[in-house]
Amino acid sequence: MQTTRPHTDCRRPARRTRVHERITRVLLRRILRGELAAGAKLPTERTLARTFEVNRATVREALRYLENLELISVRQGDGAYVRNFLESGNLQIAKDLVRVDEAMRREILTAIMEVRRTNIPEVAYAAALRRTPEQLQQLEKVALRSPQQSVMARDRQVHRIIARASGNILNILLINFFEDFFDAFGDLYFGNKRHCRRSETFHRDICEAIAQQNAGHARDIMRDALQYAEAAVGAAVTEAKRPRPEERRPF
């Protein structure tokens, strides 16, 4: 009895979450594709529950998520209305946009990499000026003395330490956002041995510039590394989309 009950309780929330996410995904795609325009009123909870064959509590959970993203506005006693997602300040929308379709996926990836290329070199600049001896020690350990880690894992830590060394909380949050976002695209870059060697060189160079507190050089190294990564990932995405020649049939 004691082993069976917890197991049953664990399965119930997971099942409800899957249903809630399915409803959210359908509505979110319709909003982001413009099928549900800004100002449009969503069907009632009762209608949505009937459409998705769930209870109203599950519908409310889905609507709550969309409201937190600032995609809809729930008016008590009136209903839920679609908001203009371009006026939202919630960066989670960028991650959700990637799931809409392939064209949007590429557009968002390009936009994120452009923002990253513009912002992160300045983070490296600030880190070179403000880093503490302890932060430099952490950076050197990860960048120069962690062969047991994959290059991708090292790269994540290098950027994380640099963000913290910048002394700006928003830089740290931005790095976290970029990390979460690029989890889906990391293999496009780090799956290539040449790119991995390029990253290892970057780790050594940025570590040396920050150690010497050469802020301008650190910024240039970071910008060059991000430009290289942006071009490499763009080429990989293009290659992945290119149709492969059909195999010839023997007859």
Residue 9: predicted pLDDT: 36
Buried-exposed string 10-40: b where 16+ CB fall within 10 A, e elsewhere? eeeeeeeeebbeebbeebbbbbbeeebeeee
Count CB atoms within 10 A of the CB of residue 212.
11
DSSP-derived letter for residue 150 is -
Q: How far is CA 223 from CA 22, 70, 114, 181, 218, in A?
A: 40, 33, 11, 19, 9
Residue 248: predicted pLDDT: 42
Q: Is the pTM of this model over 0.95?
A: no
pLDDT tens-place string over residues 202-240: 999 999 999 999 999 999 999 999 999 989 988 877 776
Same fold, 4-87 and 101-241: no
Name the residue ranges covered by the structural domains of the chain.
4-87, 101-241
CATH of domain 101-241: 1.20.120.530
By the 8 A CB rule, do 139 and 210 touch? yes
pLDDT tens-place string over residues 16-27: 457 788 899 899
The CATH architecture to which 4-87 belongs is: Orthogonal Bundle (1.10)
**Segment (H or E) for 82:** strand 79-82
Token pair 């060059």: residue: 224
